[in-house]
Structure 1
Amino acid sequence: MPEIRNSNNRKLEKQLKAVAHDLNNILSSTMHSITLLKQKIEKGTDEFSLVEIIESNSNRAADIIDVLLDDKKSVTRTLNVSRLLNEVILAFSSTITPELKIKTDIVGEVYKIFGMRSNVYRIIMNLLVNAKESIEGTGEIYISLSNLNNKKAAEIFPNIREANYIQLSISDTGCGISKENISKIFVEEYSTKNKSGISGLGLNIVKEIVTSMGGYIFVESELDKGSTFTVLFPEFKKKEMSKKIGLEKTILISEDDKILLKLLAELLESYNFKVIKTEDGEGCLQEFISESKIDLIIIDKKMPNLDGIDCVRKIREMKIDVPVILSSGSKGEVSSGLLKELKIEKVLHKPYDFEQMLSLIEELVY
């Protein structure tokens, strides 16, 4: 019986990965379409806001796929913390009693940040759960979110790196934390629950995630009055690429999804790259041999006739070191050893951000 269960689990895992691959291709096409639309719609209009909502939901769908696959390598993306915070509050509200009130002061348009959506969700939810556990009976949780420019940030937090930040504060009217315990709450597995009422379990993970994003977390507390946790997320400033970046540069794209191939080519052409399109590895190899100058290859892992890995292997056998970006609808398909052997510089997991691809192209070609 265990053998049958294991066999069924392996089949299910294989089916899930196949479905995820197809869904990620669809999401890639959707997200590249969004990028093209944002180039053509004026910022600040209702139409632009609708496109941003579609973009946010597409990112959310990608995260759901990662969760279904129990994928620990979620993709980092630009995030709208205001929208994400409202989602977390909605989910959290279903877990509390009527005696516990939530008050919010959330700015709608905050700076964008760059990170894993699932990680930011965990940060917010963990802090809310800790606030809830610190309150016995009636009480309030106050949540605020606002922009903090570099000048104001330096005045309030003099020892932080100079930058613009999003400030997230979560306050409660709970029992508070004693002075001797304040310094311990971010220590691994430390918990003050059942002592001062607040659970510190998981706060070390929160701090690790915040720090890995270049942010900061602070806590202020007073016994019998409550606590305030403040998280500073650094603003993500999109690097403005010149539309002339692609002049005199040729990119060979090999992608078997025709819609995705068309959209990606159109996006690259909007930055003045010369783009050669192929739909399988054999076509890619033929174009590479016939074309006198290729500056970069963007190639899909899974393709008919000749897959991306075998195509790159044949190119490397020619002793040619053209830069290669491998795209894949599933994570973990190619070992780091094989990537190193074939001199594949970068791997992009679908659905990827086009701006992320542009940054990689600039890094590899210039």
Structure 2
Amino acid sequence: MEINPSGCTLLGHSKEEFLKFHLWEVIEPEDLKKHPLRVEDLRSGKAMLTERKLVRKDGSIVPVEINARVLENGCLQGIVRNISERKVTEEIVRQAQKMESIGLLAGGIAHDFNNLLTMILGSAEVMGLRIEKDSDLNKHVHRIIEAAKRGGSITKQLLLFSRPGSSELKPISITHIIKEVTDILSFSLPKNISIETKIDLSNGIIMGDSGHLHQVILNLSLNAKDAMPDGGKISIRENSISGKELRKKFITATADQYVSIFVSDTGKGISSETKNKIFEPFFTTKERGKGTGLGLSIVDTITKNHSGFIDVDSVLNQGTTFALFFPAVGATADLDLEKINRQRKIKANILIVDDETMVLDVLKEILELPGCQVLIANNGNQALKIYGSHKVPIDLVITDLGMPEMSGEILFARLKNLDPKIKVIVTSGYIEREKKESLLSQGVKSILDKPYKIESVQTVVEEVLRNSKTTE
């Protein structure tokens, strides 16, 4: 019978057009099916506050809140309020709650999971050092090491997603990471899918976290595979682009030069509507149980943490290309981070503390390889006794953070009371950046994340001992 100008603006119809409709014609059919009109309740005298999805003239949907009642003259009055902004805010809150839940889950599993990976990775690396170079067993040891490293990335995915900004950036070669990913995929892709790479630059050096970038390229490649159920080709291309050229598309691209990676497929493509949602957390077009909706959101998060940019080009039934751009750096750094220095010698008395016996055994062997004298303790109280009674000075303590009865943080505080110049390294399978910063500000010399490799353990120990001698 009547609609005010705000109602016409809300729905996009003129007053004359609107008055030709029945009430149910402006309600989204699916919404009406789920929540039929309750006219009888209104006629009984009840007022009703409800949410509805109304259809605009252009076909778009607007969420509204309707306060409805029947007037004394028998007419139905509905006061309608647009709640689009409120819905957006509610969705942000829901997503934040999901992220918090994932963070709790990830933190709960990371410590134990990374302890297991530390045992596997450390034991495999020690085996690798003790096996002859030409032994057939070397390839099996290498597979164990690579599998353990990729296992660690599972936890990193969840931790990264729930705790963005946790990347630790070092000079790395994107070219090397692409080769690693293609090696993995060559064994695991279906036979009807081929993969090719094209590297158009010599170094591809950026400041990055190798584990996170490995996950980015792997995630994009696996998505490409899923987009081609009937077979096709995955192409991974790497080249460079000037910052001036990239700024035509991304105005905040301030670096002089960028390394670009393109991951393409010949699959079914992405519709323009879906393309706008692919980086949203938990959005997936895969069948129930076959996708988490985290993969591309993680890719987006990692790219941003590396000061990078991401672009998507897709044509339905022809294929999709994801383009990544990262600021390039010079190639002067030593990038062979996987190489173990077999000639390294470290002379130090080290006390290691961990409630996991197998972790202690692995770490003890890693430290004894370069010549360290190692003492072990299964808990904080035992560590305090050993430190207080040992006749030879202990040069360094390496303690796990998450231990029962006495945490690594409390142990450090008590050791510091015994010796203000104590040198302590803390290890953990899961530690937030804020906690890291707090421990370092209290005097902890370094933080070692599990699962750790021989090279990283020995490098950190050398640096702490060398820096301590310099300051003394």
TM-score by length of 2: 0.50
**Does structure 1 residue 280 correspond to structure 2 residue 379?**
yes
- Residue in structure 1 matched with residue 445 of structure 2 by the alignment: 345
Deviations 1:116-169 (A, max 9, x none): 233134357769999xx9xxxxx9776689xxxxxxxxxxxxxxxxxxxxxx99
- Of 212, 223, 240, the residue aligned with 2:341 is 240
- Of 114, 129, 142, the residue aligned with 1:39 is 129
- Of 86, 89, 107, the residue aligned with 1:17 is 107
Inter-partner Cα distance in structure 1 for 2:167 and 2:134 = 30
Inter-partner Cα distance in structure 2 for 1:68 and 1:28 = 18
Deviations 1:13-69 (A, max 9, x none): 434422221111111011111111101112243210011011111111110122234
- Of 203, 207, 211, the residue aligned with 2:324 is 203
With over 3 angstroms needed to count, the CA separation of the structure-2 counterparts of 1:144 and 1:242, relative to structure 1, is same
* Long gaps (5+) in structure 1: 134-138, 146-167, 174-185, 217-232
Assess if the C-alpha contact under 8 Å between 1:75 and 1:116 holds in 2. no
Inter-partner Cα distance in structure 1 for 2:143 and 2:408 = 34
With over 3 angstroms needed to count, the CA separation of the structure-2 counterparts of 1:330 and 1:142, relative to structure 1, is closer
RMSD after superposition: 4.8
- Residue in structure 2 matched with residue 122 of structure 1 by the alignment: 216
- Of 407, 428, 432, the residue aligned with 1:307 is 407
Q: C-alpha displacement at 1:347, in angstroms?
A: 0.6
Inter-partner Cα distance in structure 2 for 1:81 and 1:68 = 22
With over 3 angstroms needed to count, the CA separation of the structure-2 counterparts of 1:84 and 1:39, relative to structure 1, is same
Deviations 1:245-284 (A, max 9, x none): 233x100100110011012112212322111100111111
Assess if the C-alpha contact under 8 Å between 1:326 and 1:347 holds in 2. yes
- Residue in structure 2 matched with residue 183 of structure 1 by the alignment: none
1:66-215 aligned at under 5 Å gives the runs: 66-69=156-159, 70=161, 72=164, 73=166, 81-88=178-185, 102=194, 104=196, 115-123=209-217, 202-204=323-325, 207-208=326-327, 211=328
Inter-partner Cα distance in structure 1 for 2:310 and 2:442 = 43
Q: Which has the higher contact order (CA 8 A, sep 6+)?
A: 1
Inter-partner Cα distance in structure 2 for 1:172 and 1:9 = 31
- Residue in structure 2 matched with residue 297 of structure 1 by the alignment: 397
Q: Which moved more, 1:79-88 or 1:328-337?
A: 79-88
Assess if the C-alpha contact under 8 Å between 1:256 and 1:303 holds in 2. yes
**Does structure 1 residue 259 correspond to structure 2 residue 349?**
no
* Count of residue pairs the alignment pairs up: 291
- Of 460, 463, 471, the residue aligned with 1:360 is 460
**Among the aligned pairs, what percent are the same residue?**
22
Inter-partner Cα distance in structure 2 for 1:364 and 1:187 = 32
Q: C-alpha displacement at 1:335, in angstroms?
A: 2.1
